[in-house]
Amino acid sequence: MPDLGDFAAAVLSSYGVTIVLLAALIALSARSARQARARLNRAEQQDKDRAGRG
Amino acid sequence: MDVSFEGDYIAAMSIWSYANPKKFIATTTPIMPWLWALAIGLTVAGLVWGFFFTPDARGFGANVKIIFVHVPSALMAINAWLMMLVASLIWLIRRHHVSALAAKAAAPVGLVMTLIALVTGAIWGQVTWTTWWVWDARLTAFFVLFLFYLGYIALWSALEDPDTAADLTSILVMVGSVFAVLSRYAVVFWGDQGLHQPASFSMDRETNISSVYWWPSVLAMAGFVLLFIVLVILRTRTEIRLRRAAALERRAYAEAAQRGQVVDA
């Protein structure tokens, strides 16, 4: 760990905010990607089932 | 048809063919793992190098390490909006849905980049110049850009018809672009009033910052650019799938209604 002197709080909070916000953005984007894929798979399966019946 | 014209024509056609949602997903699927690895690898390398292996700077002390998160995020905050402008113009002119969805997908990423730049800039300002904020041209334009990001996202959510939403948000992007450009060039237009100096990064060795800080900065900036690209692709794919799912659900609902199987809540 480098010696940050009087600037420790400023530097660490800057990196902390950046990492937390980027990690949250990546996690939320990945979650909505998973949910969208599942919703489309469900809709396509129901569409196929209907076509099979019809 | 002239041979060279035919060649140009085919090249142009191949660019626009990526506006086909199916082709967009098929093309981006194999490159996503590589893009993720490169984006995260470069970002981590730039930040680790900048945080652990750069010396204190005269006049700034260890505070200079904030540059490695502040500059890349500010860069992407502005360029994300410019990418949204290009995508919105393509939507308005050529009506390609993927470009409208790409602009929509980029907005939250740009918003987060703007927020990071605002927060880290305020921290930098407080430690270096003992002020969190001044209403100079660049900071004010940057804050207005942040509000435009919020307005853009809110407008997409507020309108039910996706084509109307794409039209209106595209116009909003054009208006907001004034502030994106002002954020970048305010120092050039009005001199170095306020907290910002003229550009620290340039190809001119005389005016450029020391290479001790330049290399990790470039790595971090490349990482943030790739992170933006990979997130926009991921989120565009999500938007394409949601739109397709919504269309299928609407069709199923309409067929059920025709058969009299729909019970209103």
Residues of chain B with C-beta less than 8 angstroms from the C-beta of A50: 252, 255
**A28 Cβ neighbours under 8 A, 6+ residues apart:** none
In B, residues 230-249, which contact A (CB 8 Å cutoff)? 231, 234-235, 237-239, 241-242, 244-245, 248-249
- Asked if B116 lies within 8 A of A22 by C-beta distance, the reply is yes
Of B187, B116, B197, which is closest to residue B149 (Cα–Cα)?
B116
Does residue A10 contact residue B123 with C-beta atoms inside 8 Å?
yes
* Segment A17-44 mean pLDDT: 98
**B48 Cβ neighbours under 8 A, 6+ residues apart:** none
Q: Tens-digit pLDDT profile for chain B (265 aa)? A: 444 555 555 555 567 777 789 999 999 999 999 999 999 999 999 999 999 999 988 878 898 999 999 999 999 999 999 999 999 999 999 999 999 999 999 999 999 999 999 999 999 999 988 999 999 888 999 999 999 999 999 999 999 999 999 999 999 999 999 999 988 887 777 765 566 665 555 555 556 678 899 999 999 999 999 999 999 999 999 999 999 999 999 999 998 888 887 655 5
B186/B138 Cα distance (integer angstroms): 5
Please report how many Cα atoms fall inside a 13 Å half-sphere around the Cα of residue B250, on the Cβ side.
6
Does residue B6 contact residue B86 with C-beta atoms inside 8 Å?
no
CA distance B262 to chain A (A): 15
**B116 Cβ neighbours under 8 A, 6+ residues apart:** A17, A18, A21, A22, B69, B70, B73, B77
CA distance B127 to chain A (A): 7
Q: Which residue in the block uniquely carries the two structure tokens 């969805």?
A: B101
CA dihedral B215, B46, B138, B128 (to 10 degrees): -90
Does residue B107 contact residue B156 with C-beta atoms inside 8 Å?
yes
| Residue B199, pLDDT score | 59
In A, minimum Cα distance to B70 occurs at A14
| Residue B75, pLDDT score | 96
